[in-house]
Amino acid sequence: MIRTVISFLLSIIIAIFPPLANIINPHDIEQQLEIISVVDTVDFNIMLKDKDGNTVYDSEFSDQETPTPPDTVIPFSYDAREQGLVTSVKNQASTGACWSFAAISAAESSAVKSGFEDVNTVDYSEAHLTWFGLRSLSDNEADPTCGDGIFSDSPYTDGGNWMRSVFALARWSGAEKEENAPFNGFPEAMGNYGEENRYSSYAHLQNSKYISPDDETGIKQAIIDNGSITVSFYYSQSFLNYSDNGAAYYQKSVTNTNHTAVIVGWDDDFSKDNFKRAPERDGAWLVKNSWGEYWGTDGYCWVSYCDPSLSCFVTYEMESADNYDNIYQYDGFGYKGWAYITGENKMTMANVFTADSLEALKAVSFHTVQNDVDYTVRVFTLLDEDDLPTDGKLSAEKSGHLDHRGYYTVELDEPVPIKAGSRYSVVVSITVPDGYNACIPLEYPEGFDGAHNRSYSAEEGVSYFTVGDDYSQWTDSAQEGYNNVCIKAFTDEMQLALKGKSTFRMSLGYLTGVYLQMSTDYIINQFYNRDAVYENGFVMLYDTLGNLIDSLEISFYGDIDDDGEVNKNDYELLSLILKAEVFYDDKDAAAGDLDFDGTLSTADLKLLEEYIKSGGKK
C-alpha cells in the first residue's frame, strides 16, 4: 500500500506541526510566466495580461540568493564572433518568434563550441522549435507524454519565452535542421508539421542554466563556455542610439521584458556616453538580434549593464543527437509549479520506467528551480513484486552540486543494464542550504499560465516524491493531483560493452588482450552485460526470447595460428606476415597486434618473443 505524506504525520508529529494543507505547498508559476514577443523594430510596448487582467512577469523562482561565484579571471572584453562561435544574423520578420531565434542561435554556438558542428554550415530550424514549442500538446497515445502541453492557434505570432524552448528541446523536439523545416517569415506558410516530425532532431539539449541577473561573473563565464547565451529585456526603438561606437541601447524605467535575443560578448569599458541617456557606469553586453543585418550595427547592438529589465540569462548546452538511443519521459511540457514542505531543505522525487528492449541506462535528467543545490541520483532495478521506486536493487548512485537553477543531465559512472520489459526507477534527491525549502518541480494541475492553457496527464504508480530521503513514505504524485515529476532517463540499445576498468579491447570484431590461461568467468566478468555467455571461442549476448543480439569472437594474445597455444610457430608466422610473404586475415591481425596500436610491426614481434620466452607470463 502506498502511503502518502498524510500517512507519516503520526500523532506526535501532528501535535507539533499544523495540518497537512499548511505544510504541503504546491506552488503555481502561472503568475510568474511572461510571454515575450517583439514583431518588428517600431516602438512596441507589450505588457501581457493574465485571464484576470493582471500583468504577468518573469520573476525569480524564489527569494534564494545566488551563491557567491568563486574567484575567476574574466577578461574586461570578449567577442565570441572573434572565436568563430557565432552563426549569421537571422530575421524573424513579422513573427513573434524572437524567443525561438535566440534559443536556436545559442544552441548553434554551443554545438560549434562542443566541436560537432561547423560555424559556417550549422543551421538549426527556428520554425520547427516555434511550432512544437507552442504546439507541444500531443494526441499520440503511443507517446508517454500524450496529453501534456499547450496548443496555440497561431504559434508564429503568439510569442513565447525561454521555458517554451527549454521544455521542447529537453523533450527531444529539435533541434531540427533548417533545410527540413525552413523559416520564411510568413506565419501562414509555415508549420503544419505532423506527429512524425515532433522528435526530429540533429542535436540534443544536455543542460540549460538559468543565471541570475546579479551574477555578472557567472553570465560572462557562461558566454565563454558556450559561445553565447540568451537574454530577455524590454525593447523600445526610442531608446536605441546609433553612436560612433555602434548601436547602443539603454532604458532605466521599465523592468518587465518584451524581447529575447542572444549575448555573444561584452565590454566593461564601453562608455556610458554612447547611450541616449547615460547609465550609472560604463559597460555593455554585445547582443545579437533577430531583425536582420540592417538593424542596429550589422544586426547587433550594445545593451548597458545597467538596464533594469535584463533578465532570463539562459544557456543551451547541446550534444550531438547520437549521444543516446532512447529517451524515457512522462513530462511533455516541463513543470508548471513545484511542491515543498515548510522547514524541509531536502526532498526526493522518483519516476518508474519500463524498458522497451534490452538497454543500458546511461544518464538521467531533471529540473531544479533553485540555486545552490546538492543532488544525489540513484537508480534501482525493480522486480515484478516491487511496489515502490526504492524497493528494488540499488544499481547506480551519483552525487554532485549545481550552482544555478535549470535543466541538467547527469551521466552515470557506469551504464546500468536493463532487461526488456523490466522496470527501473530513477530517484533524485535535492538539498538546498539551511533556511530554505527544497522544491520538487511538478507538472501540477492544468490551467492558464499567462498566455495558454496547459494540459497535463499522468498515470498512477510512476511518479513519486517524499520528504528528505525517507523511502518508506512515498507520495504518488498523480494520486495527489500533481501529475508527474520531471525526470527523464536516457539509454542505449544494449550491445556487448566492456567495463571501463577492463584491459580488454574490441578490435576488428574481435575481443583482444585475452590470454589463454584466463578463465571464461573472468572474461565474462569484464563486460557490463550480466547475461553474456562464453560459447566456443565467442562471447554471446541473447535477449529474453533467446535471439542473438551481439557476439564477439575471442582473439587470444599471441595465438596467431589459432591452435590454442602460443609458441615459436606463432613467432615464425608473424615474421612471415611482416615480410609480406604470408597473407593474413583480421583474426591474425587481432592476435598479433600485441601492443594494441592498430598495426602489425616489429614491436609486436619483439613482444611475442618475450612472451614466449617467459613461458606465457604477462
Parse the chain into domains and list their residue ranges: 80-317, 324-493, 505-613
Of residues 548, 556, 542, the one with CA closest to residue 510: 556
At 69 the pLDDT is: 54
Q: CB count, 10 Å around CB of 18?
A: 9
Question: Which pLDDT belongs to residue 582?
Answer: 83
Given this model, what pLDDT does residue 502 score?
82
Q: What is the pLDDT of residue 493?
A: 85
Q: What is the pLDDT of residues 94-117, one digit of tens each?
A: 999 999 999 999 999 999 999 999
pLDDT at 92: 96
Predicted pLDDT of residue 71: 62
Count CA atoms within 13 Å of residue 428 on its CB side. Answer: 31
For the segment 429-433, the average pLDDT, to the nearest whole number, is 97
State the angle between helix axes of 602-613 and 568-578 in degrees (0 to 180), rounded to the nearest 10: 170
pLDDT at 66: 56
DSSP H or E stretch at residue 533: strand 533-535
| Inter-residue contact 404 to 218 (CB < 8 Å) | yes
**Res 313 pLDDT > 90:** yes
Give burial (CB, 10 Å; 0-12/13-18/19+) of 6.
Answer: middle
User: Of 559, 614, 616, 565, which Cα lies nearest the Cα of 592?
Assistant: 559
The strand pairing partners of 327, in sequence order, are 490
pLDDT over 50 (residue 24): no
- How much is the pLDDT for 499? 80
pLDDT at 8: 27
Q: How many C-beta neighbours within 10 Å does residue 27 have?
A: 18
The reported pLDDT for the residue numbered 139 is: 87
Report the range of poorest mean pLDDT among 60-64, 272-276, 565-569.
Answer: 60-64
Return the pLDDT at 64. 54
Contact between 465 and 472 under an 8 Å Cβ cutoff? The reply is: no
Rounded to the nearest integer, the mean pLDDT of the chain is: 86
| Cα(136)–Cα(152) distance, integer angstroms | 9
Lowest-pLDDT range of 60-74, 285-299, 464-478, 577-591: 60-74
* Cα–Cα separations (whole angstroms), residue 249 to 243, 267, 288, 353: 10, 14, 12, 49
Contacts (Cβ under 8 Å, ≥6 apart) of 279:
250, 252, 272, 304, 305, 306, 307
pLDDT at position 70 is 58
Could you confirm whether domain 505-613 is CATH 1.10.1330.10? yes
Q: What is the DSSP string of 193-251?
A: --GGGTT--SEEEEEEEEE-TT-HHHHHHHHHHHS-EEEEE---GGGEEEETTEEEE--
Q: Cβ(554)–Cβ(538) under 8 Å?
A: yes
Q: Tell me: the pLDDT tens digits for 370-428?
A: 999 999 999 999 998 889 999 999 999 999 999 999 999 999 998 898 888 899 999 99
Q: What is the CATH number of domain 80-317?
A: 3.90.70.10
pLDDT at 44: 24
The position carrying cell 524498458 is: 355
d(CA 554, CA 510): 5
Q: What is the mean pLDDT of residues 213-218?
A: 96
The per-residue pLDDT for 617 is 62
Residue 484 burial (C-beta neighbours within 10 Å; 0-12, 13-18, 19+): buried
Distance CA(323)–CA(205), nearest Å, equals 10
pLDDT for res 72: 66
Highest average pLDDT, of 45-54, 176-185, 414-423, comes from 176-185
Q: Assess whether pLDDT exceeds 60 at residue 15.
A: no
The DSSP bridge partners found for residue 429 are: 348, 376
**128-161 pLDDT per residue, tens:** 999 999 999 998 899 999 999 999 999 999 999 9
Cα–Cα distance measured from residue 277 to residue 275, given in angstroms and rounded to the nearest whole number: 5
Per the structure block, which three cell numbers stand in for 117? 558542428
User: Which pLDDT band, with edges at 50, 70 and 90, does 323 fall under?
Assistant: very high
> Which residues have CB under 8 Å from 101's CB, separation 6+?
90, 92, 126, 290
Give residues with Cβ within 8 angstroms of 422, minimum separation 6.
Answer: 354, 355, 381, 382
| Predicted local distance difference test score (pLDDT) of residue 16 | 23
324-493 CATH pick, 1.10.287, 2.40.160, 2.60.120, 2.40.390? 2.60.120
Pairing relationship of beta strands 246-249 and 300-304 according to DSSP bridges: parallel
Q: Considering only residues 120 and 451, tell me which one the structure prediction assigns the higher pLDDT.
A: 120
* 91: DSSP letter: B
Residue 210 β-bridge partners: 314, 405
Given this model, what pLDDT does residue 67 score? 57
pLDDT-derived band at 429, boundaries 50, 70, 90: very high
Determine the Cα–Cα distance for residues 32 and 15; give it in Å rounded to an integer.
Answer: 35
CA-to-CA distance for 216 and 296, rounded, in angstroms? 24
Query: Rounded to whole angstroms, how far apart are CA atoms 166 and 175?
Result: 11
Contact 424, 355 (CB under 8 A): yes
Q: What is the mean pLDDT of residues 526-535?
A: 85
Summarize the confidence of residues 438-464 as an average pLDDT.
Answer: 89
